[in-house]
Amino acid sequence: TLEIPRADWQCKLVVIGDSGVGKTSVMRRFTDNEFSFNFVATIGIDFKVRTIKVKEKMIKVQIWDTAGQERFRSITTAYYRGAKGVIIVYDITSLKSFSHVNNWVINFNRWAGDDVQALLVGNKCDLEDQRVVTKMAGEKLAKEHGMEFSETSAKDCTNVDIAFMRILEKIVEKH
Ligand code: GDP
Ligand code: MG
């Protein structure tokens, strides 16, 4: 018989970061194990769900994705409401997206709750020949803001589950 996993607990994560860094791709890789060079951008706010075992508990993870409104001013309380974790994504081939991480930190510090865990993700690590942000720079920035850190490739499926597990374990530990 087919067993539908029963969740012990639900948890909302939100994904933020500049447009084009791979937020939708990282989320889709995690929830549906899919990748495409042209996911159609939906308008507004979208979310996907995956139930996963974290520290012996089944967690129904709801991941919210900004769709085409990646300006700091348009992401406020409504988006963060009830979120237990924030994932900031930049692109390791884009210095601009990395330099904007500080603005995204300011944004979630202002609008998200106090007890949110944060994870910094340097995505597109398959494009090593185009890399402009070192792994050390990413790690350093994450440490400065008390965030977990991972480099991922949504395309090659590198580290995506590991990155999500890193923040989910922190969240489960706290609750
Ligand atoms: P978003 O605007 O942050 O949601 O970014 P998308 O997920 O739409 O991705 C933007 C573009 O980058 C798309 O063409 C993706 O296929 C591509 N992309 C996303 N992740 C990766 C990755 O890990 N490696 C490579 N090479 N391309 C990626
Ligand atoms: Mg997107």
Write the pLDDT tens digit of every residue in 88-131.
999 999 999 999 999 999 999 999 988 899 999 999 999 999 99
The 148-151 sheet, strands edge to edge: 44-54, 57-67, 9-16, 83-91, 117-123, 148-151
Read off the pLDDT of each residue in 62-74 and give the average, rounded to a whole number.
78
Closest residue by Cα to atom 2, ligand 1, is: 20
- The answer to whether the CB of 117 is under 6 A from ligand 1 is no
- The answer to whether the CB of 103 is under 6 A from ligand 1 is no
Q: Are 50 and 61 in contact (CB under 8 A)?
A: yes
- The answer to whether the CB of 24 is under 6 A from ligand 1 is yes
What atom in ligand 1 is closest to the CA of residue 152? Answer: 23
141, containing H or E segment:
helix 135-144
Closest residue by Cα to atom 19, ligand 1, is: 22
Residue 39 above 90 pLDDT?
no
- The answer to whether the CB of 68 is under 6 A from ligand 1 is no
Q: Are 161 and 43 in contact (CB under 8 A)?
A: no
CA atoms within a 13 Å half-sphere pointing along the CA-CB vector of 117: 21
For residue 6, the model assigns a pLDDT of: 75
